[in-house]
C-alpha cells in the first residue's frame, strides 16, 4: 500500500492520525479564495515531486501524476516488489483512476491561450491533462508492460480501478496489478464550478477542521481534498511464491448505476443497494458477516441520507450493528483518489483491529441513524470490511476485503 494524503504520506503516520481523529482540513493556501464561497480544503503540504521523478519529468507532468507516481513507488517498496525482477513485465499492469485529471494544467494553459500567447502553450499540455496519463507515466517509471488504463468515473474512479484490476487477476490476464486513484483538483477553476453547484461547505470557513461532518445534521457540503492511494494486488500463487506479506485479500467487487441524475444520488438508494447486494452475493457473504463499512460519506445533505438508506436496504437489521464511518471527515473528499485511500483504510481496519471514527459528528440527523463511530475510534476484531464510493453520473462501486487466513 502507498499513499499521499493531507494527513500524512506514510502508512503508519496516516493511520495513527486517522484513528486519533486528526483533521487535514484548513484554510486554502494554494490560491486566493477571494472570489470563492468555500475557502477550506484538505491540501497536501510540502510535497516534492522530484523525490519520486526526474526533475524534467516532474516539470512536464501535472500534480495528480506526481501523486500517483509517489504513491505507486511507495506501494511497490512496501510490497518489496521490483517490476525489473519480474519474470515477465507483461504480466504486471497498472490501473490508476482520476475523476478530473490535470485541472491545474488546464487552467495554466488556457490562461496562456486566452492571452494571445498560443505559441506559448506547452507541447505537453494534452498529455499533462488527460486522466489516463497517470497510469501511463507510472508504467513508464516502473517498467510495467501489462494491462494499463484508467477508470474515469469521478469519485468512484479509485474503487473502480482496484475492482477492475482484481477482475484481470481473476481472469488470469496478469500476475500483479498496481491500482488505485489520484487527484489534484485544488484550483480556482474547479472551486468555481463546485461552488456554482452549491456542493461545497461554506458554513465553516472560519472553522475549517469542523467543515467536513458526514452524517451530521449540520452538514452543508463536501470539502475538497487531494492525494493518491495505490494498492499492489497479486494473485495468491504469485504472492506465495515470492513470500510476500499479505495484508488482506480482495473477495468481491461490484459496480452499478443509479440511472437517475447527473449529480444527485437516487433518493431511494436503490442504485447503491444493487451494487452492495451484488457485492455480498458474489462473495457468498451474509450481511451480518461484514464487520466494518468505510462509507462514501461526503458530508452533503443528499449523499449521506441516500447512502444510509441503501445500507439499511441491503443489510437490514445488521446495518445497526455494523460500524459505518467516513474518513472524509479528516481527509476531505479526494474525488477520484477517494476509493484508493479508503480501500487502504478498510484494509488497515482489518490489520489493526481499529475502526476509525467519523469526526465532527455532533448533531444526530433522524434520516442518518446508523452507528457512524462518532468522534472516537473503536477497537473491534474486523475480519471483513467494505469500502464503497458513489459518483456524479450515478456511478457506484464497492469492494469487499477479508483477513487473509491461509
* Residue of 155, 275, 306, 368 with catalytic role: 155
CA atoms within 13 A on the CB side of 3: 28
Residue 329's Cα: distance from chain center in Å?
Answer: 13
CB 318 within 8 A of CB 311: no
% the chain with pLDDT above 90: 90
Q: pLDDT digits over 234-259, tens only?
A: 999 999 999 999 999 999 999 999 99
The pLDDT value given to residue 87: 85
Q: Is the dihedral of CA 9, 31, 334, 76 positive or negative?
A: negative
Tell me whether the CATH fold assigned to 2-241 matches the one assigned to 249-402. yes
Domain boundary assignment for the chain: 2-241, 249-402
Q: pLDDT digits over 76-96, tens only?
A: 999 999 998 888 999 999 999
The pLDDT value given to residue 262: 95
pLDDT > 90? residue 34: no
The pLDDT value given to residue 133: 98
Residue 333 annotated to the active site: yes
The residue among 56, 53, 26, 23 whose CA lies nearest residue 40 is 26
Q: pLDDT digits over 259-297, tens only?
A: 999 999 999 999 999 999 999 999 999 999 999 999 999
What is the arithmetic mean of pLDDT over 35-48? 95
pLDDT > 70? residue 217: yes
pLDDT > 80? residue 166: yes
* Residue of 306, 333, 368, 395 with catalytic role: 333
The pLDDT value given to residue 14: 98
Fold observed for domain 2-241 = Peroxisomal Thiolase; Chain A, domain 1 (3.40.47)
CB 142 within 8 A of CB 89: no
E strand or H helix at 19: helix 11-19
Q: What class does CATH assign to 249-402? A: alpha beta
* Residue 15, phi then psi, degrees to nearest 5: -70, -40
Q: Is 125 in a helix, a strand, or coil? A: helix
pLDDT > 90? residue 71: yes
- How far from 155 is each of 176, 184, 336, 396, CA to CA, in Å? 24, 13, 4, 9
Note the pTM of the prediction, 2 decimals.
0.97
The pLDDT value given to residue 147: 98
Q: pLDDT digits over 51-68, tens only?
A: 999 999 999 999 999 999
* Residue of 131, 296, 368, 395 with catalytic role: 296
The pLDDT value given to residue 111: 84
Q: pLDDT digits over 295-307, tens only?
A: 999 999 999 999 9
Residue 11's Cα: distance from chain center in Å?
Answer: 15
Q: pLDDT digits over 111-127, tens only?
A: 888 877 667 888 898 99
Average pLDDT score over the chain: 96
The pLDDT value given to residue 118: 65
Amino acid at each position: 500500500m502507498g499513499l499521499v494524503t493531507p494527513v500524512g504520506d506514510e502508512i503508519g503516520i496516516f493511520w495513527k492520525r486517522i484513528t486519533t481523529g486528526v483533521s487535514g482540513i484548513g484554510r486554502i493556501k494554494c490560491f486566493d479564495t477571494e472570489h470563492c464561497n468555500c475557502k477550506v480544503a484538505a491540501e497536501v503540504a510540502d510535497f516534492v515531486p522530484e523525490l519520486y521523478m526526474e526533475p524534467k519529468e516532474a516539470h512536464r507532468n501535472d500534480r495528480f501524476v506526481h501523486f500517483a507516481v509517489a504513491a505507486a513507488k511507495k506501494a511497490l517498496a512496501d510490497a518489496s516488489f521490483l517490476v525489473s525482477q519480474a519474470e515477465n513485465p507483461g504480466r504486471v499492469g497498472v490501473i490508476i483512476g482520476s475523476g478530473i485529471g490535470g485541472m491545474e494544467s488546464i487552467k495554466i494553459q488556457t490562461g496562456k491561450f486566452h492571452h494571445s500567447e498560443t505559441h506559448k502553450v506547452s507541447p505537453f499540455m494534452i498529455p499533462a491533462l488527460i486522466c489516463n496519463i497517470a497510469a501511463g507515466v507510472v508504467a513508464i517509471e516502473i517498467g510495467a508492460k501489462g494491462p494499463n488504463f484508467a477508470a474515469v468515473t469521478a469519485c468512484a474512479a479509485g474503487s473502480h480501478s482496484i475492482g477492475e484490476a482484481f477482475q484481470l487477476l481473476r481472469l488470469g490476464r496478469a500476475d500483479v496489478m498496481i491500482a488505485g486513484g489520484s487527484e489534484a483538483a485544488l484550483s480556482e477553476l474547479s472551486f468555481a464550478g463546485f461552488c456554482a453547484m452549491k456542493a461545497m461547505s461554506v458554513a465553516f470557513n472560519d472553522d475549517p477542521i469542523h467543515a467536513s461532518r458526514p452524517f451530521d445534521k449540520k452538514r452543508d457540503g463536501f470539502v475538497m481534498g487531494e492525494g493518491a492511494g495505490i494498492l499492489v494486488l497479486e494473485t495468491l500463487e504469485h504472492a506465495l511464491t515470492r513470500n510476500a506479506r499479505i495484508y488482506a485479500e480482495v473477495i468481491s467487487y461490484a459496480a452499478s448505476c443509479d440511472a437517475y441524475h447527473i449529480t444527485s444520488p437516487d433518493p431511494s438508494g436503490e442504485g447503491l443497494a444493487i451494487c452492495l447486494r451484488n457485492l455480498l452475493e458474489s462473495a457468498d457473504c451474509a450481511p451480518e458477516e461484514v464487520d466494518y463499512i468505510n462509507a462514501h460519506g461526503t458530508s452533503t445533505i443528499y449523499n449521506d441520507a441516500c447512502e444510509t438508506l441503501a445500507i439499511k436496504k441491503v443489510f437490514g437489521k445488521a446495518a445497526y450493528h455494523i460500524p459505518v464511518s467516513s474518513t472524509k471527515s479528516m481527509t476531505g473528499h479526494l474525488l477520484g483518489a477517494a476509493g484508493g485511500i479508503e480501500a487502504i483504510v478498510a484494509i488497515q481496519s482489518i490489520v489493526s483491529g481499529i475502526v476509525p471514527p467519523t469526526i465532527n459528528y455532533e448533531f444526530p440527523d433522524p434520516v442518518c441513524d446508523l452507528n457512524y463511530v462518532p468522534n472516537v475510534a473503536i477497537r473491534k476484531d474486523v475480519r471483513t470490511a467494505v469500502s464503497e464510493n458513489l459518483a456524479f453520473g450515478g456511478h457506484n462501486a464497492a469492494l469487499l476485503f477479508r483477513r487473509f487466513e491461509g
